[in-house]
Amino acid sequence: FPPQIWSFQPKFPIPPLTPSPPQGSPTSSSSPRPRFLLVFDFDETIVDENSDDSILRGRSLPERLRHGPGASYNEHMQRVLAFLGEQGVRAADLRAAYEAIPLSPGVAELFQFLSKHSERFEIILISDANVFGVEAKLRAAGLRSLFRKVFSNPAGADRRGFLTLGPYHSHKCGRCPPNMCKNKILSEYLAQRAREGAEFRKVLYVGDGANDFCPSSGALGEEDVAFPRKGYPMHRMILEAQERQSGTFRAAAVPWESAEEVARFLQELLRERC
């Protein structure tokens, strides 16, 4: 049967957060190896805004910096950040803006759940934002330690204090922006972890955008689960793929409006496989 869009009805509330046992304790040493790989997007997934829009709020750009079809978005943001630096905006100012971006609904509760069950999930983040902003927000929210790896466009302060940005990599994918293909990143990560002996029962992907459709359709299989944010491009593209030709999108799809829905699904998943 083709995979379906699930309407998940939770049976149990999310348990309250309890501290994970310290490394080296008897409970920690007897914990099973991570059984699930959980992949997150950042913009409009972990945070409730596009982080580029957030740092530009209240700032006007000259006409020459309006994003047009002649340039990639990553190149556009490189020029925008250079302009901001010339206007006296320093990386430290932008860090504060990133730290202030609100989390998406239910994200705090989801990460409370993941903190309690950290031995069951290996968590990574793949974002077409930038590593400076992503790391700043994750640390401010107290979430960074839960992520094994963060993949994002390189960014940092130069000697002038300007925030500079670059592309993550090059690739040959025809449907992704030239600076990042999330499917390539995820596929290479899975191959690397397999060489290292890691085994995952399922890959679970939480996202919202068109560039999240590429990895969720390319790297996820029939045993895996995609969590598209309801009504966002990733969700619409999954529906279109299923309507166009059943079986072309292999993973199960569980749309969400609040990330608490993701937490409840994961809780049920752990109950089923304990």
Catalytic positions are 41, 43
The conformation of residue 71, written as its DSSP 8-state character, comes to S
DSSP string across 192-218: HHHHTT---SEEEEEE-SHHHHHHHHH
Q: Is 158 annotated among the ligand-binding residues? A: no
CA 76 to CA 62: how far, in whole Å?
13
The tokens describing 99, both together, are 């730290």
Nearest residue to 250 (alpha-carbon basis) of 205, 190, 195, 193 = 205
Q: Is 128 annotated among the ligand-binding residues? A: yes
Vertex 97: Cα angle to 73 and 66 (nearest 5): 30
Q: Is 224 annotated among the ligand-binding residues? A: no
Q: Is 212 annotated among the ligand-binding residues? A: no
The tokens describing 147, both together, are 């992520």
Residue with tokens 């209240």, as numbered in its chain: 58
Q: Is 208 annotated among the ligand-binding residues? A: yes
CA 270 to CA 160: how far, in whole Å?
49
Feature table: binding site for substrate: 52, 128
* Binding-site residue set for Mg(2+): 41, 43, 208
**Binding site: residue ranges?**
41, 43, 52, 128, 208
